Amino acid sequence: MLNQKVLVLNKHWIAVHICTVKRAMSLLYQDLARVVTREFQLCNFETWRDISQFANEPVIRTPSFKILIPEVVMLTCFGKLPPRVVKFNRRNIYVRDSYTCQYCGKRPPREELTIDHITPRCRGGESTWTNVVLACSECNAQKGERLLEECDLTLPRKPRKPHWSIVLGSNPSDFGNPLWQKFIDVAYWNVTLHK
């Protein structure tokens, strides 16, 4: 329960991160965040604790009280905007490909995953979103420095640059929470597009 995801908003009500319930409760207790209710009211720790006493939803129980699990928290001091550009780095490649080999579909331990260039660098391939995928050690060794047409491997889908929300720490498909959608959708539709 403490590892469930909580959407974090900046003080301007814009989604900036996703954290665990444990972290959200810590921020709330330290008065660094407020819980955002389904009615868009803000609650500090004491108010949220009082509301929780009459709840039928999942709660965290302590020896002296119970407290509801928040879905969304808003930071009280942080006003910066999240980056809308996805950095091309190892972490984001792993997240984009869901820690899964893009050739065989297996999900081996992280240390057995490698980043493979679809068109090898020795053949003019570049390190771009559309030319790299995660591959298990076995598939990467099988492919070597060959093109896909030259070996017995295929990609189920073409790699592409991920949605900006990957920088929040999750994929857009994880945003099934109706309360989250109110903040993620607004950010998605109102972000400035670059030519």
Q: What is the per-residue pLDDT across 99-129, written as a single tens digit (0 to 9) for each?
A: 999 999 999 998 999 999 999 999 999 999 9
Q: How far apart are CA 154 and CA 172, in angstroms?
A: 25
Position 46, amino acid: E
Position 75, amino acid: L
Same-domain check for residues 73 and 48: yes
**What's this model's pTM, rounded to 2 decimal places?**
0.54
Closest CA to 1 of 64, 48, 61: 61
Same-domain check for residues 174 and 142: no
Cβ neighbours around 64 below 10 Å, total: 6
Same-domain check for residues 11 and 77: yes
156 belongs to a structural domain: no
Tell me the CATH number at 123: 1.10.30.50
Same-domain check for residues 99 and 146: yes
- Helix or strand holding residue 107 (H, E): none
Residue range(s) defining the domain that contains residue 22 = 5-83+165-190
Look up residue 191 and give its two tokens. 């972000």
Q: Sorting pLDDT into bands at 50, 70 and 90, what band is 152?
A: confident
157 belongs to a structural domain: no
Residue 144 has pLDDT above 50, yes or no: yes
For residues 95 and 135, is the Cβ–Cβ distance under 8 A? no
Residue with tokens 């993620």: 184
Number of structural domains found in the chain: 2
Q: How far apart are CA 191 and CA 50, in angstroms?
A: 37
Same-domain check for residues 108 and 172: no
48 belongs to a structural domain: yes
Angle between helices 45-52 and 21-29 (to 10 degrees): 120
The percent of residues in the chain predicted with pLDDT above 70, rounded, is 81
Report residue 60: phi and psi, to 5°.
Answer: -100, 130
174 belongs to a structural domain: yes
